[in-house]
Amino acid sequence: MDLNPYIEDLRRHLGVAAAAGGDEAREMAERLVAPLESAARLVLLDVLSAAAAEITTELAPGSVDVRLRGRDPELVVTTAPSEQSFDQASTAATPPPVEADDSGTSRLTVRLSEQLKSQIEAAAGRDGLSVNSWLVRTAAAAADPDRRRNTPTTTTSQRFSGWVK
């Protein structure tokens, strides 16, 4: 994202405001423009970072990041897997039931976004399982390296890579 048009716009507005104050004010504005450019860039980067953070909270599990390329910020959007790929992954990679052991059970509290909670409930419903059973199977498959190796993986075609100018 090129910030130069915004910096030039600020410079022009400062010049118009200074012109109303006479020659002395206009000269002072011209001296302030160079140091203000750096400050304005920093403020714009702060605004972009705050906006990206706010968007990320609404976009979860996707995200928006601000990266610097030279002097210009670059917005990088990482999207969540599409519903279709989530459905395919959950049906293709349903782990087998976990065998009960005699060690007992323990309780765990997990905080999830509403969107993720809904997706988990839908996946458990498709598999005909309770949310707890589905989570136990999924966690067991993720924690056991042998099960992970044997579980088929799905890839999506919504992946982009390269440079944009």
Q: Where do the domains of the chain lie?
A: 4-78, 83-150
**3-class SS string, 75-94:** EEEECCCCHHHHHHHHHHCC
Contact (CB, 8 A) for 108 and 92: no
Kindly report, residue by residue over 1-58, the tens digit of the pLDDT: 888 888 888 888 888 888 888 888 888 888 888 888 888 888 888 888 888 888 888 8
Contact (CB, 8 A) for 28 and 18: yes
Q: Which residue has the higher pLDDT, 152 or 66?
A: 66
Report d(CA 19, CA 24) in Å as an integer: 9
Q: What is the DSSP string of 41-60?
A: HHHHHHHHHHHHHHHHHHHT
Kindly report, residue by residue over 80-137, the tens digit of the pLDDT: 766 555 555 555 555 555 555 556 677 778 888 889 989 998 998 888 888 888 888 8
Report d(CA 78, CA 59) in Å as an integer: 9
